[in-house]
Amino acid sequence: MAGKKVIITGVPGVGKTTVINEALSKLKSEGVEYKTINFGSFMFEVAKNEGLVENRDQMRSLDRTDQKRLQQRAAQAIAQIPGNVMIDTHASVKTPKGYLAGLPEWVLREIMPDMIILVETDNDQILMRRITDETRSRDKEGARAIAEHQEFNRSIAAAYAMATGCTIKLITNADHLLDLAATEMADALR
């Protein structure tokens, strides 16, 4: 049986990876397995090996040509992975020159996802999560900028679905309701 290719997206600080980990734990207890690929981590390792960056937060400042090449290499590798594959990534990346598609046409053509899951929550909750997360060096943004980014992600996810024929699932990861979000994601992944 061919596996599913599912892309999970959300703005930085939405708790996407936390929801993924909880959903995968639920699925594993039922015997449903997914290989999890962090698109940005793959790109970061390649960029680091090439001497382009020292830390992951520098990725969004790379030249567009370098970002495109790194995206292509990641997509080609992911497309070759058999079974159910979950790709943890960003629908868009906010750069100093504007939004960059996290999954441009050349990436989508390689991966051809079955579903895109967009994790969202209240803008103020994301802002507080960013402020209290000392493990990352994030851009300083207010709730209005976060709202703009979440709205852009919905729009670009719709464009991705138009290009691939996949479905889009919206999941809210509200504070103190992680189990609800994880259950909803697990249900979508079954």
Tens-place pLDDT, residues 161-189: 999 999 999 999 999 999 999 999 999 99
Parent domain of 32: 5-38+84-189
Residue 131, domain member (yes or no): yes
Q: What is the pTM of this model?
A: 0.87
Q: What is the pLDDT of residues 10-65, one digit of tens each?
A: 999 999 999 999 999 999 999 999 999 998 888 888 888 889 999 988 887 888 89
Residue 182, domain member (yes or no): yes
Taking the C-alpha atoms of residue 100 and residue 4, their distance in angstroms, rounded to an integer, is 26
What's the structural domain count of the chain? 1
Residue 78, domain member (yes or no): no
Pairing of strands 35-38, 92-95: unpaired
Please name the helix (run of DSSP H) or strand (run of DSSP E) that holds residue 4, with its range, or none: none
Return the DSSP state at 73: H
Q: What are phi and psi of 75, to 5 degrees?
A: -60, -40
